[in-house]
Amino acid sequence: MTGKAVKARAAVRERILCEATKLFGDRGFGGVALRDIAKASRIPLSTLSSHFARKRDLQEVTFQRAVEVITRRVLTSRLEIGSPKQRFRRYIVNVVELFLSDLPEMKVLDREFQELDKPATFDLVVRTSRDRFSMESLMLVAELARDTRSDLLKSISAIDLTQMVFAAIYGIVKLRSLHHHILGGRPLGNAALTRRIVLIFERMLGI
């Protein structure tokens, strides 16, 4: 295969993954057929099958790619400057903005998170969480947390803390409408919700 052919094949693969990300995020894994992705990618089904023989294979690669895009472009962005506390606050804001966004990759993760009761999906999420890129990202944020010298880190590890922050913010954002109906008052806009979440974690972590 020539260099030009290799590049062309790589471009088709990337287009497949982009379209699969959009469709899986919008409809869920079970609501999309390979022919739907082939049509959206403007290629024959046979061409798609030459890249991904099974839908499960495509799901795994799509999920792994989504995790990489999110950690590279979103979670670890703008964390290079400032004090440790400022950088960790920036991470919290990044997480909140991620969950509030319409990023196709986040929709894919959200779909998978909703189906963790399925053994295959659970295994996929666990395997991806152990990938090198995911672990490097987690270690970076754990170092940011450790540098803040939060008193909470005397009782739990920095990695446990970052996992707890991620899970807690996900829950707060997903349940925002429920909290509004239970507690009453005006619904919070995205900016106000972000400020409130940052304040919650500043108080909780003592930073």
Looking at 17, 33, 53, which one is the last position of a domain? 53
Judgement on whether residues 67 and 169 belong to the same structural domain of the protein:
yes
Residues 48 and 60 both lie in one domain? no
Task: Report the candidate in 107, 98, 110 with the shortest Cα–Cα distance to residue 194.
Answer: 98
Could you tell me the CATH number of the domain that includes residue 37? 1.10.10.60
Query: What does the pLDDT look like over 148-157, one tens digit per residue?
Result: 888 888 888 8
Same domain, 39 and 67: no
> Do 9 and 91 fall into the same domain?
no
pTM of the full predicted structure? 0.80
Q: What is the pLDDT of residues 123-143, one digit of tens each?
A: 888 888 878 778 878 888 888
Query: How many structural domains does the chain have?
Result: 2
Q: Which domain holds residue 36?
A: 1-53
155 shares a domain with 124? yes
Is 27 in the same domain as 90?
no
CATH code of residue 88? 1.10.357.10
